[in-house]
Amino acid sequence: MSEIIILADVNNNELKESTAEVVTAALSLGNNPIVVVPGTSPEAAANIAANYEGVGSVIALQSDCFATYDSAAWAEAIASVSPPGHLLTSSTSRGKELAARLAASRSATVVQDVIEIDGNTISHPIYSGKAHEKLALSGPSVMTIRSNVFKPAGSGGSATITNVNSSSDLRTTLKEMVAKASEKLDVSEADIIISGGRGMGTPENFEKLYNVANILGAAVGASRAAVDTWEEIPHSMQVGQTGKTVNPSLYIAVGISGAIQHLAGMRTSKYIVAINKDGTAPIFRHADYGIIATWEEALPLLEQELGSLLG
Amino acid sequence: MVEIVVLVKQVPDTNAKIEIKDGRADLSMIKWITSPYDEYALEVALQHKEAVGGSVTALTLGPARCDKTLKDAKALGVDKIARVDVSEGYIDSFSVQSMLAEACRSMGAEVVYCGKAAADTNAGSTGPGVAQKLGWASIANVTKIVFGDNSLELMQPAPEGQAKVGVDLPALITCDKGMGEPRRANVKGIMMAKRAVVDLIDVGSFEGNTSVLEHTSPPQKPPGKSYEGSEHVPEVVKLLRDEANVI
Ligand SMILES: Cc1cc2nc3c(=O)[nH]c(=O)nc-3n(C[C@H](O)[C@H](O)[C@H](O)COP(=O)(O)OP(=O)(O)OC[C@H]3O[C@@H](n4cnc5c(N)ncnc54)[C@H](O)[C@@H]3O)c2cc1C
Ligand SMILES: Nc1ncnc2c1ncn2[C@@H]1O[C@H](COP(=O)(O)O)[C@@H](O)[C@H]1O
């Protein structure tokens, strides 16, 4: 018989909440999915997984190889305990990489970023979301589930847990872990830009923009008022008629009023988010998503949300 | 002498509007380009050769139109260009991985570079899949590389920040931005590329287990929305991800 297997999203023995969403996705393919929980000591995470409603059984997969990330070793260990059938995991960068490897080792097809499952039909975005593709599955597949699409499974289940030890050789060596550095990207190169204006109050407050930028891999820009007022903000960061013209997928304007000369440099951005305390600021007329709030309130929340989604 | 292979894919221009006709993306009027991250992969492959010597082959899988992407790579300075010939249309990821892995094996590849994700699929499946088929290590989303004689030292994003990772060859690397702007072709390169011959590689065929039922347009971009108060930030973040698809 063919099983439904879920690879839990675990980092440092901690179970990520996205796993509960993958459980829901798995339940639309069949009953009693098996959750594989990898870790150097996976017991606690396995207990949480066993409580998700609908889970059939849990394999707590202990291996020293899970101390550092090595896709080949992880995939080998996970493959060794995963029976044939559909295999699902979260659409994180590691999840996608492991899914691709596991698919190859199972001679199955891998489909990334699934947003809909209906029997043996699944959908996922292609062309950067400019189209959706609906696929028919004619055999076991491996898929990653996009986060925030499926409702997380409730708790209250009590699946049995089996402990398995495995070992697999690391193919890579971790030499050093470098804490998140604020690598300064130029606005003209970035696909995402977060810009600050005079409303940021002081140049030091631009640090808050860098915090968000680091999570998104974004560049930090500025309005002319900010560049003119504070010598710490260089002209190279200026967006607008007498600054740089940019065309990112996402432009986040913080404490910027939206003067015509600023708009001239960024209005073709695919999506514009504005954060401004003044609901009548002209920037809101151009924003796809406007948040009427001070940056003091909005930026910490933005950092937190993005961090938990992408970090 | 390292045998370096770089996987390059031809994709629809990323600025193009994707129209749906009869349940399929209509690509008949599309301008084709080299997938942007593959340009970084090419740059890295050429830097690898410059650092320690070797031979670089640009490999693609696709119909004859993809020879343009190979010639563009040739103009940048790769030694050889090769194509696995397939017909136009959907190819399941299992088939893509299997065929490219076979081709890499037949060329005696010792290191393979590819893009972190193709601009059409946005998947990031091919690199790790090919590595698994070859039984190799793979390191994804790499932003910096130091080339050794038979090893690499790479920077890769990790939940905690950046990981500096070492690997012995053979290995497959999927490339993000970070190794500098990809070089541009010069006139001499472009002239040479005109005469270059594409090696056609036959690796047999593989059957995957998905087929396309239909393509649809995603819901239209809605008119601007305004939210009063910072408590709406989580909602906006969700929309950026699920409605706008920009994060
Ligand atoms: C010839 C010419 C060329 C120009 N070229 C450029 C150019 O290239 N680029 C450019 O940007 N400008 C340019 N300008 C200047 C432009 O006209 C505006 O003066 C400038 O863009 C205003 O910058 P700002 O939005 O940061 O400041 P302001 O207009 O002062 O806006 C500050 C905003 O911050 C908001 N705010 C205040 N406190 C907070 C808080 N705590 N939280 C949230 N929001 C807050 C306020 O409500 C306000 O909307 C040019 C002008 C001229 C005449
Ligand atoms: N048909 C193909 N021909 C050559 N390389 C490919 C092909 N498909 C994918 N690749 C490589 O694999 C990378 C990731 O593709 P994908 O898995 O589709 O996101 C691309 O950036 C290319 O380097």
**Whose structure tokens read 């997969």?**
A61
> For residue B236, is it within any domain?
no
In a domain, B224, yes or no: no
Closest CA to A145 of A255, A6, A250, A251: A6
| Nearest to B185, CA basis, from B62, B58, B84 | B58
Q: How far apart are CA A43 and CA A70, in angstroms?
A: 21
pLDDT at residue A130 tops 90: no
**Mean pLDDT over each residue of chain A, to the nearest integer:** 93
Q: Is the CB of B138 inside a 6 Å radius of any atom of ligand 2?
A: no
Tell me what pLDDT residue B138 has: 97
Task: Indicate if ligand 1 lies below 6 Å from the C-beta of A257.
Answer: yes
| Residue B49 domain flag | yes
Tokens linked to A159: 């699946």
- Beta strands in chain A, from DSSP E residues, in sequence order: 3-7, 10-11, 14-15, 34-39, 57-62, 85-90, 109-114, 116-118, 121-126, 131-137, 141-145, 160-165, 172-179, 192-196, 219-222, 250-254, 271-276, 289-292
CB contact under 8 A, A113 and B120: no
Mean pLDDT of chain B: 95
Q: Which two tokens stand for residue B134?
A: 């070859």
Count of positions (residues) in chain B: 247
Ligand 1 atom at minimal distance to the Cα of residue A223? 11
- Give the pLDDT confidence score for residue A180 in this predicted structure: 60
pLDDT, residue B237, reads 96
Residue B33's pLDDT is 97
Q: Region A141-160: what's the mean pLDDT?
A: 92
Q: What is the pLDDT of residues B29-69, one digit of tens each?
A: 999 999 999 999 999 999 999 999 999 999 999 999 999 99
Q: Which atom of ligand 2 approaches the CA of B113 most closely?
A: 23
What is the pairing mode between strands B19-21 and B24-26?
antiparallel
Per-residue pLDDT, A144? 97
How many domains are contained in chain B?
A: 1
CATH number of A173-310: 3.40.50.1220
pLDDT mean over A130-153: 92
Report d(CA B155, CA A140) in Å as an integer. Answer: 34
- Give CA torsion, residues A175, A181, A183, A184, to 10 deg: -170
Is a pLDDT exceeding 80 seen at residue B241? yes
Thinking of the domain A3-145, which architecture would CATH place it in? 3-Layer(aba) Sandwich (3.40)
With an 8 Å Cβ cutoff, are A270 and B246 in contact?
yes
Residues 6+ apart with CB under 8 A from A93: B124, B140, B141, B157
Q: In this predicted model, what pLDDT tens digit does every residue of A52-104 receive, in sequence order?
A: 999 999 999 999 999 999 999 999 999 999 999 999 999 988 999 999 999 99
The pLDDT of residue A233 is above 90: yes
DSSP 8-class letter at B123:
-
Measured in Å, residue B61 CA sits from the centre of ligand 2 at: 8
Does pLDDT of A184 surpass 80?
no
> For the domain that residue B110 is a member of, what is the CATH number?
3.40.50.620
Question: Which residue in the set B97, B136, B212 is minimally distant from A133, CB to CB?
Answer: B212
> Relative to the alpha carbon of B115, which ligand is closest?
2
> Would the CA dihedral through A88, B157, A190, B228 be positive or negative?
positive
Q: Is the confidence at residue B219, as pLDDT, over 80?
A: no
Q: Which domain holds residue B26?
A: 3-212
Is any atom of ligand 1 closer than 6 Å to the C-beta of A242? yes
CA distance A116 to B204: 33
The residue behind tokens 């699934």 is: A114
Q: What is the pTM of this model?
A: 0.79
The residue ranges of every structural domain in chain A are 3-145, 173-310
Q: Which of A111-115, B91-95, B215-219 has the lowest mean pLDDT?
A: B215-219
B241 lies in a domain?
no
Give the least confident one: A146-150, A271-275, B138-142. A146-150
Residue at B238 is within a domain? no
Residue A50: what pLDDT?
98
Lowest mean pLDDT among A34-43, B73-82, B237-246: B237-246
- Asked, for residue B197, whether it belongs to a domain, the answer is yes
Q: Is A259 in the pocket of ligand 1 (CB under 6 A)?
A: yes
pLDDT of residue A183: 54
Instruction: Give the pLDDT confidence score for residue A1 in this predicted structure.
Output: 58
Which residue carries 């993958």 as its tokens? A22
Which is more confidently placed, B220 or A212? A212
Q: Hey, of B7, B179, B209, which one would you mutate to test binding to chain A, going by the most A CBs within 10 A of its CB?
A: B209
B225 falls within a domain: no
Instruction: Measure the CA–CA gap between A145 and A74, rounded to whole angstroms.
Output: 19
